[in-house]
Amino acid sequence: MVMLRNKVRGFAAPRSAVLAGLVALAACLGYGQAVNSCVDCHSTMPDPLGVSSDKFSQDIHAQKGLTCTSCHGGDASSYDPTVAMGSKAGFKGKIDRRKIPDLCGSCHSNPNLMRQYDPSLRTDQLAEYHTSVHGKRLVAGDAKVAVCIDCHSVHDIRPPSDPRSTVNPVNVATTCSRCHADANYMKQYGIPTDQFAKYNTSVHHDALAVRGDLSAPTCTTCHGNHGAVPPGVDKVQNVCANCHVFQAQMYAKSTHSKVFQDKGLPGCVVCHTNHGIHMPSDAMLSTGPSGVCMRCHAPGDHCDRARASILANLTQLDSTIKQADDALRLAESSGMEVSEARLSQDQARDALTKARVTIHSFQAALVDQDIQVGMKIAAANLKAGKDAMVERNHRRIGLGLCFVAIAFMLAGLWLYIKKLES
């Protein structure tokens, strides 16, 4: 507060004439509108004190009728700094970082108050925040941890649904990375700072940022937002299970689930990693560099044989589907009607996807059941494609024979006409 007053005094002395002029001009331009001396003055100041009326008008709070005094106190109707920012007017000045969650929570934790703005808005953010690593550290006196304004920004807070919002799903990872990817800033906490770089290479980032699927996970989907904590080794599968339901159900019943739990291994992360999760491929079952099974299993053991069997079957189905696709495409480009087979190729692909999901049961027999369903359909479609090409060839032979017959008829007619006319 003292610092702020000193800053204001520093401005007031040498620039009072200019400032007074600008304030008067702003007041004149705003004739007929509600007086807001805070914005009128602060819009002429450089950062960090500058807040333009344009910027503040974008803020959801301003749009809902709140003003600077709602958070900072003071009297926005007076152009006298000693009155506007006087203690009599309850002026709070710059809000201490440690008090920010409670200040925001004074409204956002009040269901009766929030209901009038948005009845569906949750009011447990502050309670959740206090359970988070950020919240606990803040209470312990660490002012470097994230408070509300670090994620939501300040003076131009937009609702999360706004694509320009710092907490819009597409922007969340970048917002978190402002601290978590800064090695110097995070030095004292001893946690990695490569999460953002890894996430940017992940299949989840691709789905969210490239394909625009807003349901795809970002940092807060797994870690929570206001109650952000690391998921914990034994809870990882629960986090993944929010979306990957079937895989989680099969994994829960598998032998791996118990073994991983006993050994304190982090479930899904053991094979798929965490932040840099790439698109899974059948190569994960291989013995090559992308293979994950042989990191734990010994060559030639029962599990290795099951792995090899699943991989061989998956490869065979995938290859048959591709062959059928090629055969049907060729038949279609030759004008043959194969749309039914083309449509049922989706069923074969579905069976392949299901088999890949069933891998999480780690039972070769179960995977094979799905594979056989897909193989039956793909083989029938492959045959349909080949049959169509045989049929095309028959048609062309038939056409050739017709041409010969027609040529004979034409020659016969021509000769007959000539004979008639001779």
Partner 1 sequence: MFAALYRWLDDRLHLDGLIEPFRHKTVPTHRLSYWYFFGGITLFLFMVQVFTGILLLLYYRPSANEAFESVQYIMTRVQFGWLIRSIHSWSANLMIFTAFVHMFSVLFLKAYRKPREMTWVSGMLLLFLVMGFGFSGYLLPWNKLAFFATTVGTQMAGQVPIIGQPMMVFLRGGPQVTGATLTRFYGFHVAVLPMLVTVLIAIHLFLVQRQGMSVPPKVEKAWAANPSLRREMKFFPNFLLRELMAWYVAIATLGALAALFPWNLGVKAEPFASAPAGIKPEWYFLFMYQTLKLIPSKVWIVDGEVLGILGCSLAGLFWVLLPFFESDKPARTRTWITGLGIFALVFMIVMSVYGYVAQ
The conformation of residue 363, written as its DSSP 8-state character, comes to -
Report in angstroms how near the CB of residue 419 gets to partner 1 at its nearest.
11
Residues 234-273 binding partner 1 (CB under 8 A) are: none
Q: With respect to partner 1, which residue has the nearer C-beta, 206 or 332?
A: 332
214 binds partner 1, rule: CB under 8 A = no
Q: With respect to partner 1, which residue has the nearer C-beta, 80 or 340?
A: 340
Report in angstroms how near the CB of residue 385 gets to partner 1 at its nearest.
13
Token readout for 85 is 């920012």
298 binds partner 1, rule: CB under 8 A = no
Residue 38 C-alpha from the chain's centroid: 38
403 binds partner 1, rule: CB under 8 A = yes
Report in angstroms how near the CB of residue 399 gets to partner 1 at its nearest.
4
Report in angstroms how near the CB of residue 390 gets to partner 1 at its nearest.
14
Report in angstroms how near the CB of residue 269 gets to partner 1 at its nearest.
42
**DSSP string covering 374-416:** HHHHHHHHHHHHHHHHHHHHHHHHHHHHHHHHHHHHHHHHHHH
413 binds partner 1, rule: CB under 8 A = yes
The amino acid at 221: T
Report in angstroms how near the CB of residue 404 gets to partner 1 at its nearest.
10
Among 20, 245, 390, 406, binds partner 1 (CB under 8 A): 406
20 binds partner 1, rule: CB under 8 A = no
Contacts with partner 1 by CB under 8 A: the residue count is 20
Token readout for 328 is 């049907």
Region of 78-86, 117-125, 172-180, 398-406 interacting with partner 1 (CB under 8 A): 398-406
Q: Is the separation of the CB atoms in 254 and 267 below 8 Å? A: no
15 binds partner 1, rule: CB under 8 A = no
The conformation of residue 156, written as its DSSP 8-state character, comes to S
Region of 130-138, 181-189, 204-212, 394-402 interacting with partner 1 (CB under 8 A): 394-402
Tell me how far apart the alpha carbons of residues 85 and 72 are, in angstroms, rounded to a whole number.
Answer: 9
Q: Is the separation of the CB atoms in 159 and 170 below 8 Å? A: no
Omega of the bond leading into 48 within 30 degrees of 0 (cis): yes
Q: Is the separation of the CB atoms in 37 and 78 below 8 Å? A: yes
Q: Is the separation of the CB atoms in 313 and 363 below 8 Å? A: no
Tell me how far apart the alpha carbons of residues 399 and 162 are, in angstroms, rounded to a whole number.
Answer: 63
- Here's the x/- map for partner 1, 303-342, by CB under 8 A: it reads as --------------------------------xxx-xx--
415 binds partner 1, rule: CB under 8 A = no
Residue 168: partners with Cβ closer than 8 Å, 6 or more residues away: 158, 160, 161, 162
**What residues line the site for partner 1 (CB under 8 A)?**
335-337, 339-340, 395-396, 398-399, 402-403, 406, 409-410, 413-414, 416-417, 420-421
